[in-house]
Structure 1
Amino acid sequence: MIFPKGINLKGTSKDSEISIIPDNMLIGSLDDLKLGSNIILGEALAYDLNVGPGDSVKLVNISESNPLLGVPRIISFKVSGIFSVGSEIDQSYALIDNNLFKSFIKPENGENIEIRVENVLTARETGRDLIKSLENEGYIRLSSWDQLYGGLFRAVQLEKIMVSLLMSLILLVAIISLLISINNLIKTNEKEIAILRTMGYSRNQIQRIFLQLIFTVGVIGIALGNLLGYLFASNITEFLLFLSRVFDISMLDVYYLDYFPSIVKFNQILMINLVTFVLLMLFGLIPARKAANTNPINIINHS
């Protein structure tokens, strides 16, 4: 059967140091490209074409059509390897030997050169500096990763902001819920507070008791939150895959990923803990002062 599909064809060599594909080969290696008209396909692309190692595929270069007959240039390749980098690259990219690529895509049509930078966030600025240094070499067009895949990156950044806002609201609700619980505790123990006041406890001592209670509950909650959060962040891919199996939904396909990368930044954790603790103690002063200002005479008379 024929499965036509547009692809991104790249010429590469086994000596390339900028590609991550050699480290993500499922079948075969880049060395196989030197053996002849071999081609390496992304895992999803091979699945869409229903081909595997040893099968033949035909590449059609429409831009190289015969000017007299109007027949596009067609070359047959044998699938020699499959790679998977866990992104949309698996769905559309194919690799052939660089020399064969130049004969298939004539150099006069232009040549693509990929450059790997240490800091991906400065890729565009690095490219501009490079173009300035090569401005006398002819026409050069720059395409950085954020231009090619910037939409996905910006969507992830927006979701990160929304998640941060949502977590801030959840944190605020949790603090308010804790304070409501402390306030209810004060109401149900007004008699005990009144007895302590009649026994000679000062308002500062009563306030200190409830602040210590808030401090203890807050520290335990923060510690448990850190532990559970670290375990969740470190195993988020397994957690999402578990939810996918339980609810029969695919949660990673929207990003063309088969794993969810995560980085635990301890400086951010420390900052969140500090802000949480400060807010907890500041809001905790309200019920603590209320308990300290309890009038023991009124409580005893009403009881």
Structure 2
Amino acid sequence: MFKPVSLFVGLRYTRARRSNKFISITAFISTIGFMVGVAVLITVLSVMNGFDRELKNRILGMIPQATVSSNQIIPDWQLLVAKAKQQPHVIGAAPFTQVQGMLTAQGQVAGVVISGIEPDLEKNVSIVQNHMTEGSLDALTDGSFGIVIGKTMADNLGLMKGDKVTLVLPEATASPAGVVPRFKRFTIVGIFSVGAEMDSSLGYIALNDAAKLLRLPDGAQGVRLKLDDLFSAREISNDFARELPSGFYASDWTQTQGNLFSAIQMERTMLGLILSLIILVAALNIFSSLVMVVNDKKADIAILRTLGASPKTITRIFVVQGLVIGAVGTFSGTLLGIGIALGISPFLTWLNNFFGLHLLDAYFVNYLPSELRWTNVALIVGISLVLSFIATIYPALRAARIQPAEALRYE
């Protein structure tokens, strides 16, 4: 079957290494370098994507993605919720009133941000109901002064469901005994655990109970929005606030958690760049091995030139040889990386359970999350192939400049 000369000779040079074992070892190391580099990059970026996904789902599932609030209490918040649901990109809305204070029990004190909520509507904008370890949000009824807190806070205060806890508000009240802080006793009706810092800082009470604490009429301070596009939260909430009367203002998650996700994105980018050095080293190995091949095959190149091979043909021979090394390493590394990325989560979970290890206790999730993104795989494969091609340019051009008479002078 007909084959182009450059492809036939390039593939033959890739296979035939008996004349120089050192060149063969260098090419093999280059292939292994590409395979390891690509596999490690795919695996690490998949794990970083998994942690990024968990952070978004857990943190942004608990804190408001966007809010529209008023300077005054909103007694007819039902109308505001209904209007919010009619906005584009809004898939859920719920009223809230926020209270800051300290919880104290058994001599322990912890700062807390408490949200007054309507349990039925809160389930549409928050994941807290899905992470209840004890009790339920439905136990938060007006006038009962029940409270739902995070597991970390409950453990720190030594509390369980059914225990009493005192909320101290940052507001002083004058009394015959002097100025004393305001406080209110609550009963713990539920405990949640999302595995993030919110377990130690958030609490939930009934909406009207929050209004009573603040000595306000029954109502809400604003509405919390759940969106179909997190990265448009600012535009969506601002557009909604502009449709409302004066006194309403918008806020979104980028103002409270934006720095965290920017730091994660930067860490993922820098880690990817650092690990790309493995592929760069493999490309340099291709460069060095091709330079040695060119020096070793000067006589062969001269013979091909005398038989009529053009400089372009000689150039393509060594480009083919370098690309074969890079392609084999890249695609074998891609298959290996995809396999590891898809299997690392169940494997580590099995390892933890089988040997009773605690490898992931330091993280906010009890397993190693991994999310394979095909765009990342395509980008890594593309970069690897481009680097392997660039590494062939100089050796191939050097081979094309070899003069037959000079190469065969001492043969």
TM-score bucket of the superposed structures, by smaller chain = 0.7 to 0.9
2:210 aligned to 101, 105, 116, which one?
101
Cα pair distance change 1:289/1:278, threshold 3 Å: same
1:4 corresponds in structure 2 to 109
Deviation (angstroms), 1:161: 3.9
* Greater relative contact order structure (CA < 8 Å, 6+ sep): 2
CA spacing shift, 1:173–1:107, aligned 2, 3 Å:
farther
Aligned to 1:156: 264
93-102 vs 199-208, greater mean Cα deviation = 199-208
| 1:1-303 paired onto structure 2 within 5 Å | 1-16=106-121, 17-34=124-141, 36-63=144-171, 65-68=172-175, 69-107=178-216, 111-136=221-246, 139-167=247-275, 170-190=278-298, 193=301, 203-231=311-339, 233-234=341-342, 263-302=371-410
CA distance in 1, matches of 2:361, 2:270: 18
Report the 3-state secondary structure (helix = DSSP H, G, I; strand = E; otherwise coil) of the residue aligned with 1:15.
helix
Q: Secondary structure at the match of 1:19?
A: coil
| Contact kept in structure 1, 2:360 and 2:368, CA below 8 Å | no
Which range moved further: 33-42 or 112-121? 33-42
Q: State how far apart, in whole Å, the 2-side matches of 1:94 and 1:295 are.
A: 81
Q: What is the CA deviation profile of residues 159-197 of structure 1, one whole-angstrom value per residue up to 9, with x for unaligned ones?
A: 344335435555444323322222233334445555666
Q: Give the residue type in structure 2 aligned to 1:144.
A: D
Percent identical residues: 31
Cα drift, residue 232 of structure 1: 5.4
TM-score, normalised by the number of residues in structure 1: 0.78
| Normalised TM-score (structure 2) | 0.60
SS in 2 for 1:142: strand
Q: Cα deviations across residues 16-61 of structure 1 (Å, max 9, x unaligned)?
A: 2111111222333212334944322222222322323333322112
1:245 is matched with none
- CA distance, structure 2, for counterparts of residue 284 and residue 260 of structure 1: 39
Q: Distance in 2 between the 1:236 and 1:123 partners?
A: 33
| Segment drifting more, 16-25 vs 154-163 | 154-163
Please identify which structure carries the higher strand content. 2
* Cα distance in structure 1, aligned partners of 2:238 and 2:133: 36
CA deviation digits over 1:117-154, x for unaligned, max 9? 22111111222222212233xx3343311111122122
User: Number of paired residues?
Assistant: 295
Uncovered stretches (5+) of structure 1, i.e. residues with no partner: 243-247
Q: Which has the higher helix share?
A: 1
